[in-house]
Structures are given as structure tokens and as C-alpha cells.
Chains A and B, each alone.
Chain A
């Protein structure tokens, strides 16, 4: 493809195919070639629950029935409703099937494709206050606004033409033929887009800082796809579901700052994403979207992949660049900032996957369109990965300013098993826990910081009454201790000392003065650590101390874990009304802590008990509990 006209031709040839899915009501007979499109999710979540087998069965079944020329099987990226996977969607009917099993395929082909009658029992339905809603009527779907995820679950990520059919590479064509690099940067500044990777730095400004001296120095554009925040998987979903959007956006940035080479630093733990990126890069080169003289202009740009090797600190920008250079991924002091001296000592900009995924749409629809969404200082939408104790685990994209209540209760479907919501954790190991009292705060960068958490990359883990907040703080600190690179002392030694204090508290050996010690260490580390990892590491402790101090105090003063998680503080008890006196527990107790006569209720001596739980495992009457 050398010209915009050629791109337009490809787009027009794909339009019916794409609109059969996006505007299916107007394409009742299919796309002219295929009567039906059967979309099956091939993201990591659904692949783990056997969607590969579903695709194979489907292709075989269609072939057997001579339908393979009438029905297109499309492997897509994530639809977001991971809890209900594997997902299958049939267009132009717009029927959304969930929890499909490989053996259900036969029925779908017979009933739906051949008989024209959808398989009722597989259709996804949400029940809300007794009202049953289909996928497209559900709160999960209607309260979202998908920009970064717009193509995920709609197109085949391994086919560049499907991406072009959705308007892909139009934005690149537009900037190369109609705009100067400075105009591109101004447009990005006007849109108000802020980095989606964590810190929320304005993207346009970052580009501006790196834009000087175009054409005279080597510069680089990098993509941070080292999604290390445990529980966040939006970047992976974009790479798996819509890899070309990242390539297009990086090319636009390359034009804006005058760079000729891009690098995508992606986690090796995401094999599907890596594979799709490789395919996308090869197709983009083949189509002339990457390489020399893109769209017949002077602009030359290429992209290479680099695989991360499992180090959380490499999500920090300077550490990531040190890693691409082939070294231990240790951060460097800033300044000099990467915009001045970055990868291989050259000016470099780095944005994360979700940030890139917004950019082509901003170019095409204009900065005002983007700035019209969100709050005053946080524009656009944000993708959150819902996880933990929530019904609809999965991926959701919401306008900035949506409240936590809407996200957890309406979109997320609330906490399962009738349990009570305790806290939502955002920002991963750098963020904090938000209690129920802040349920109605509109989510944006500044509000989250004001209530002691942060946006981070968008992991949102819900916790219920069974989660101990001291244990959660300890979990995150253990993570930072493991992942600290060791370069600066506040982080290497400080986080370790904090962890030791938390260990003491959860073992029932804590004193009230430990809480002051924790706080003063936390502030010292925040002020003195070299990079973002260390500066934010104390946040989980500080936020839980702020909102759940009573839990810490219960551990220290009463030697009690209110949620019943911290093992050392639990006592095993026998319920005398349930105990039949079978003696099984007493015979199995390794320390002879249980006494009692046959056919009489037994008793546990808590002073002798080592809390191994053997008695509870052995009791046939459910008489033993831990409190």
C-alpha cells in the first residue's frame, strides 16, 4: 500500500464484513459472502478454558455440513466478561453465548446456524432485581464506553485488513499527509490525554519534550507492555485483541518527535500477545505501514520486539530502557529524563499500551471529542481489570469520573455469596485500599491520590469481609521486597524492615509503637527511594493504616485477626453441640492438645495447640472451627 487511496480501497472492501458485527441490525443477510460470523474469544482467559477446542470443533462441524463457505469462524481478542468464558458471539444475530463447552458446538451449528434458532440455554443473561437482561441490555455492557478496547472482541487480531476495515491506519495517513509534527503534538496536548501506565503524566507534553532537533539525532519510541501489576491485564488484552492499534500509534509518535525506530518491551509471560504482535509487525511491514517511505512520504519507521524476563521494576521507564540495552533492569536517577537522554543515551519517549490504544481515535475524532469525556483534569476513559471477590471478573472501560459504586455494584455485579464489601484495591503494589465510605468518589487520577490510592495501570481488586487488611498490606510488601532491584538503600532495606514489623504484628507479637515505626519508615522510603517502585511501595501499608487501623489494633491489642486469616492468631474450637466424642481428632493431634472421653464432647487446649488444622480436616461432623 503506497497511497491513501489504496488504504481506502481496502477499507471499503472490508466494510460489510466489519459492519456485520458492529451494525448487525442493518446486515441481516450477512456480509454478502458469509451469512454468519461466529466469533470465538481466543484471549488468555478463554483459551485457558478450552476455546481453542471450540474453534477446532466449530471448523470441523461446519465443514462436515458443507457450511464452511457460508459461515466465517473468527478468532477474536477479549470481550471483557472473562468470568463467563469461553465467549462465543454469532452475527448478524448479535447473540451472545457464555460458558460454551467444546461439546456444545454441535448444538449451536444444528439449532442456530442450520435451524435459525439460537440455543437458549447458552445465551448470557444478567438478573438484576428480578429483571432478566441480555448481554446488550446488561449493566455490564451499557455502562461501559469502549475506546481503547473498541476493537477487542470485534476483529480478528491476526488480520491487518480487518483492522483497516475499522478505520485502522487512517490516523497515520492523516498525520503524514495533512499535519506537521508540531500540529500532532499540539493536538495531543489539547486532548488532555494522560499516561495510562500509572503516574498519569500528560502524553502530549512528554512528546513535546522529546521533539527538539528533529532529523539530526537518533530518537526512539518505546511501548511499555511489561504489565507487571499483578491483577491487571488490560494491556495484554489490547495486544491480544488489537495489536495494530499500538503499531499505528507508535508510528504517529515517531513522526511527531522525529524517531525512526520503535521498541515494544513485552512480558515473556504473555505468549499469545507476543505471537500476535509478531504477526502484526510482519503484516504491517508487508503492507507498507512500517518501513521506508510510509504512504509515499519521507517518513521511515520500524518496530522491534523485546521480551521482558520477569522483573516488576522494568515497568519503571528508566529500568525498562536499561533492560532493552541488555543489562540488569535497574533504574537510573532522573534527570536527565528519557526525553533528553533515554534508550542508548538518545531522546526517547515511552508510553504504555493502553495510552497508545487511545491515540489513533483522538487523531481521527479530534481533541475536543476526547476532552469532552471524563473529569476536569482526567479526560477520556480508563480500562479497569476487575478481579477478586466480584461477580463479573473481567475487563471494563468506563469514562473517567464514574464512581466506584457503579463499577463494583452495577458493572461488576457486586460481591458474590452475599458477603459484605470491605475494600477495593487499585494501583497494585503502588496503590492503596479504598473503603466503602469512599464508594461515591468519582474515579480520576487526582481523586484517587487524594484518598490515598492511585490509578496505577488499572487493576481493581475487590475484597470482602473475609480478607484481612493487615495480611493484604503484608502481601503487597512481600511483593515489593521480592521485586526491589536493590540499587538504592531506602527501598532495599526499608521495605524489608517494614515487612518484618508486619510479620511481627500478624504473628501476634506486635506492639502499638510498631505502628508509629511503620509510618515513619513509610514516609522516609517515599521521600528517599530512587524510582517509582520504592517511592510508592509503602502506599498499601499507609492506606490500610488510614482506613483499617482498627484491624491493626485488633491484631496488636487483642491478639485477634477479625477476618480469621492470620494463622498464628486463630484458635481452634470444638462446638460441644456438634461433637459426638468419636476421638478421631484427639488420636490425630500431633501434640496431644485434645482431651475428652469417648462419646463426650472434646476440648482443645489452646496453649498446647500448634494450629496445624489436622483436627479440623479429620472431623466428620464439622464440629471444629477456627476463630
Chain B
């Protein structure tokens, strides 16, 4: 398992205590690994090696199994996200209405690609598959704020709001 991720792990004792409580609560439920990992990601914001190790030790399952699940699902992040999580819907309805050029424009402005984070930790960029707001296509999100019917020209103004 690679530990090369550039950001040092900054988990606190308090977070670890919360995680151990979650594990104690769920460990006897059948198929508990994913729910535990989802809650762990809520606590830490992402799932670095150190957190996966705690889960594997506590549940007495191989670390590779935890890593396997973490890398299988798009929802689990092995690297931290930015303060502002920007995502662009590349679902079919948004795509045919031009979300592709919008995504390119954001990459150009932020200088980062899909799944990356700006060096100052402010913005991270992801693509997503359909948030279900197809009536507003094309759609982009900044954290929980939804921007619908966006055009390439509007992107700069939207991102500036978070600067």
C-alpha cells in the first residue's frame, strides 16, 4: 500500500475516539465494513492509510480488504479534499447540454485536473455522474451549492465567489 500521498496525516485523538465508538456500535451488524468506512470518512474527511489501518486492526480483517473496498468505490477518497469541493456533472443530460466545455474551463481557471486539489488546499475538482437535477442541466456544485444552467462564461464568476 502506497503511503506517498503528499499530505501528512493530522488525525486527532478525538477523531480516533469517535471512530472507535462507531466501530464498537456497528461491528456486529452483517456487512458492517462499508457503513464503518462511510462514517470514518465523515469523521476525517478522507480515508488515509492510518485510518484504514485502525479499521482493519479493530475488525481483525486484512488491511488489503479495507484498501480494496476504499479504492473500488468512487465515494471514498484516499487524499484530502479542498475547502471548496467543486464538482461538475458529466451525466448524459448535462453532457449533451455542454457540461464538457464547462469542466474544461474550470480546469483551466483552477489549474488542476479531475480528482486533484489546488496546492493551497482551497479547491478540489471532481466530475460526478448525475446529481439528479437534470432539469437544470448543465449543473456544477461547490460544496452543497448547486449552480444550474451554467455556461462557460459564468464559471469564473462562480469560482470568484469562493475566493
Contact = CB atoms under 8 A, between A and B. Distances in A.
A269 B93 contact: no
Contact of B137 (A307, A387, A485): A387
A85 B148 CA distance: 12
Interface stretch (A42-50, A66-74, A281-289, A603-611): A42-50
Contact of A306 (B31, B95, B96, B148): B31
B130 interface: yes
Given A326-B69, A393-B137, A307 B128 contact: no
Interface string A523-553: 0000000000000000000000000000000
A393 B38 CA distance: 33
A236 to B, nearest CB: 5
B92 A461 contact: yes
Most A CB within 10 A of own CB, among B32, B96, B146: B96
Nearest to B73: A309
B11 interface: no
Most B CB within 10 A of own CB, among A309, A329, A389, A467: A309
Interface string A221-254: 0000001111111001000000000000000000
Contact of A230 (B37, B65, B92): B92
A428 interface: yes
A326 B34 CA distance: 5
Contacts of B76: 309
Contacts of A34: none
A28 interface: no
Contacts of B135: 45, 82-83, 85, 387, 393-394
A270 interface: yes
B72 interface: yes
A402 B148 CA distance: 31
B96 to A, nearest CB: 4
A467 B95 CA distance: 10
B1 interface: no
Contact of B130 (A230, A311, A326): A230
Interface string B127-152: 01111111111010000001010000
A159 interface: no
B101 to A, nearest CB: 10
A291 interface: no
B96 A326 contact: no
B140 to A, nearest CB: 11
Interface string A36-69: 0000000011001100000000000000000000
Contacts of A394: 135
A325 B35 CA distance: 10
Contacts of A44: 131-133
A393 B139 CA distance: 14
Interface residues of B, number: 36
A438 interface: no
A324 interface: yes
Nearest to B59: A326
B112 interface: no
Contacts of A231: 91-93, 130, 134
A230 B91 contact: yes
A388 interface: yes
B93 A461 contact: yes
A485 B71 CA distance: 11
B33 interface: yes
| Interface bin, chain A | 35 or more
Nearest to B95: A475
B129 A306 contact: no
B2 interface: no
Interface string A292-313: 0000000000000011111110
Interface string B56-77: 0000000001001100111110
Contact of B32 (A307, A326, A459): A326
Contacts of A228: 129
B11 to A, nearest CB: 21
A183 to B, nearest CB: 32
Interface of A: 44-45, 48-49, 82-83, 85, 227-233, 236, 268-270, 306-312, 323-329, 344, 385, 387-389, 393-394, 425, 428, 459, 461, 463, 467, 472, 475-476, 479, 485
- List 5 A-B pairs, minimum CB-CB distance, nearest first: A82-B135, A230-B91, A387-B93, A310-B74, A309-B73
29 contacts: A45-B132, A45-B133, A48-B133, A48-B146, A82-B134, A82-B135, A85-B135, A229-B130, A230-B95, A230-B130, A232-B130, A269-B128, A269-B132, A306-B34, A307-B35, A307-B38, A309-B34, A309-B38, A309-B75, A325-B30, A326-B34, A329-B73, A344-B31, A385-B93, A385-B134, A393-B134, A425-B92, A461-B96, A476-B92
Interface of B: 30-35, 37-38, 65, 68-69, 72-76, 90-93, 95-97, 128-137, 139, 146, 148
Given A228-B129, A268-B38, A393-B135, 12 more contacts: A49-B136, A229-B130, A230-B93, A230-B95, A309-B34, A310-B129, A326-B34, A328-B69, A329-B73, A387-B96, A393-B134, A461-B93
